[in-house]
Amino acid sequence: MIAALVAGLLAGYGIAVPVGAVGTYLVALTARTSLKVGACAALGVATADGLYALIAVLGGSAIIPAIEPIMVPLRWVSALVLIALAARSGVTSISQYRTRQATPQTDEVPLKPVRAYMRLLGITMTNPMTVIYFAALVLGSQTTAAPGHLEQALFVFAAFAASASWQLLLAGGGALLGRTLASSRGRLVTAIASSALITTLAAHLLISAP
């Protein structure tokens, strides 16, 4: 049981720690809204990681062949959604700065915690590489004896907990950034920089697609 717990923690941190487009968007979102909204968005990312860990544990070697036909469309959807969010954030920030009516967030409609959770859950779920990552770890760690239900549950829970702790750390960093750059000009610079970085990372997904 301890081995399953440790394996799950390592797997969760392994997929969460590299900060890509989703992590960058999470930090920027929290900086422009609130820690509450950012924390809910972070839990959305962690939920997706936990679900993919569960799918990998239950599906085993059947997962990769099953999702292979839709990997490229999913990657395109994920990248295009991120680019659209980045563009919207940048355009709205510029508009608010020009009218000198900067607000704590850049969404035209106030972003509620539940909506932030669902948005990040959806974005993360469109990344097929996550399930392949977990499937490879599960298959690679299997021994001749099949893991029991308790070990499987511990692995999934630990993967979720590890991802959640890291995503919440990113959200906390975004909240601190928002307090530091509280002026309208500071928020404009933050929004433009994060939008450019998110767009670059999302474009990389498209370029690297087979």
> What are the pLDDT digits (tens) for 59-76?
755 665 666 676 677 667
Q: What's the sign of the alpha-carbon dihedral 68, 72, 73, 74?
A: positive
Only one residue has tokens 């829970």, namely 157
Structure confidence at residue 137 as a pLDDT band (50, 70, 90): low
Asked whether residue 100 carries a pLDDT value surpassing 60, the answer given is: no
- Give the residue-averaged pLDDT of 145-152: 68
Tell me the mean pLDDT in the region 91-115: 66
Residue 145's contacts (CB-CB under 8 Å, 6 or more residues apart) are: none
pLDDT value at residue 44:
95
Structural domain for 17, as ranges: 2-207
Which residues of the chain form beta strands (DSSP E)?
Answer: none
Is residue 39 pLDDT above 90, yes or no? Answer: yes
Q: Looking at residues 194-203, what average pLDDT do you find?
A: 72
Question: pLDDT band at residue 42, thresholds of 50, 70 and 90?
Answer: very high
Q: How confident is the model at residue 136 (pLDDT cuts 50, 70, 90)?
A: low
User: pLDDT value at position 110?
Assistant: 62
Find the range with the poorest average confidence among 124-128, 141-145, 165-169, 192-196: 141-145
> What pLDDT does residue 61 have?
53
Output the pLDDT for position 106.
Answer: 45
Structure tokens at 153: 């549950």
**Which one, of 187, 193, 155, lies nearest residue 31 by Cα?**
187
How many distinct structural domains can be found in the chain? 1
Residue with tokens 């999302």: 202
What is d(CA 146, CA 61) in angstroms, rounded to the nearest whole number? 13
- The model's pTM: 0.70
Distance CA 11, CA 48 (A): 14
Cα(131)–Cα(56) distance, integer angstroms: 6
Q: For 147-158, what is the mean pLDDT?
A: 80
